[in-house]
Structure 1
Amino acid sequence: MSETLTGRRVAFLVAPEGTEQVELTQPWQAVRDAGGEPELVSVSPGTIQAFNHLDKADTFPVDRMVTEVSPDDYDALVLPGGVANPDFLRTVPNAVRFAGEFFAKQKPVAAICHAPWILIEADVVRGRRLTSYPSLRTDLRNAGAEWVDEEVVVDAGLVTSRKPDDLPAFCAKLVEEIGEGAHRAQARSA
């Protein structure tokens, strides 16, 4: 087991329901396996309801509410996908602010599937190269991003992937980027 993330805290920002379970659990395990400390951040206390596509899956306890935390508390941010999860979060100003501030602080951010919707709302994708679930292509281009259809894309500390099939590459790159620490170019779109 690699200990490349020992002492690093990683926020996983999720809505009360709608997170694609595997897009939460596999990156979470990758962070833990690398010695990092993942923490579940949401907009309300209690538990979140994950999904396997459209079917309810497991519930997970919320560690902290987004109103109680700051990017200063963490070394990186992971944004799991699922359609409903980022669609809900992009309507919550505190969640959008929290995600956007990671860019201003030059900290790594990893977003998979539909999660770049939050980044569009935070206005941090302009001039960046990234990928997502294919249905977000036009949204990302309209927000000023260069969208590409690739398994995993890294742009100055921002890691993006398209779908659950991409999780092995996504997890490897997010651990690598978190391990590298601050990325000065990350702030260019903040």
Structure 2
Amino acid sequence: MAQRIMILATDGFEQSELEGPYSAIKTAGLEPVVVSPHDGQIKGWQHDHWGDPVDVNLTLDEAEAEDFDALVLPGGQMNPDKMRTEKKAVQLVKDFCESGKPVAAICHGPWLLAEAGMIKGKTVTSWPSIRTDLKNAGANVVDQEVATDGNLITSRNPDDIPAFNKALLKALQEQDQMADA
């Protein structure tokens, strides 16, 4: 059975930061699953205007970390800011982090890692405007394409998507190999 990867998002996600990882996951033969607070569709944000809708596969109420192999947290300013007010979303992030499964957050996505209390002592990167928030949550913040610390993978912006996807797929491959051993 193909690994299932939860993509946790709501209206206002940065279009490329959901679609890029989604496509890479699908191309690798894995199953991307979009999870959101509401069913139907969520609308993306494309730089400075609304983007395209994306179908929601499961609602937050239907999703459990134990049913997935990894978590992707797309950015966009609105998306993670809304998601960090959703108790179930914050709990899912915490559950994934504590399970040791790969958790990949890009741009503003690490806000959810901070909200869940999962970055203290961890090395992470993000969009510049939230770096102080991450430092205040106890993280060691760096400015690089990808920062990997244990099961956490973080990147700064849409330009980093190729490196972000590569790090995520590598972590999933290593996880799969360990499961087969």
**TM-score, structure 1 length as denominator?**
0.90
Secondary structure at the counterpart of residue 100 of structure 1 = helix
Question: 1:57-72 counterparts in 2 under 5 A?
Answer: 57-72=51-66
- Matched residue, 1:96: 90
- Verify: 1:24 aligned to 2:18, yes or no: yes
CA deviation digits over 1:112-149, x for unaligned, max 9? 00001111110000010010001111101110000000
- Matched residue, 2:5: 10
Find the aligned partners of 2:29 and 2:2 in 1 and give their Cα distance: 7
- Matched residue, 2:179: none
| Structure 1 residue identity aligned to 2:7 | F
**TM-score, structure 2 length as denominator?**
0.95
% identical equivalent positions? 46
| Structure 1 residue identity aligned to 2:108 | H
CA shift for structure 1 position 57: 1.0
Which residue, 30, 41, 50 being the options, matches 2:35?
A: 41
Question: 1:99-178 counterparts in 2 under 5 A?
Answer: 99-178=93-172
CA deviation digits over 1:74-98, x for unaligned, max 9? 0000000000000000011011001
| Aligned residues: CA RMSD | 1.0
CA shift for structure 1 position 54: 2.5
Find the aligned partners of 1:57 and 1:159 in 2 and give their Cα distance: 25
Find the aligned partners of 2:82 and 2:47 in 1 and give their Cα distance: 16
Structure 1 gaps of 5+ residues are: 1-5, 183-190
Runs of 4+ in 1 over 3 A off after TM superposition: none
CA deviation digits over 1:2-30, x for unaligned, max 9? xxxx7100000001x10000000010111
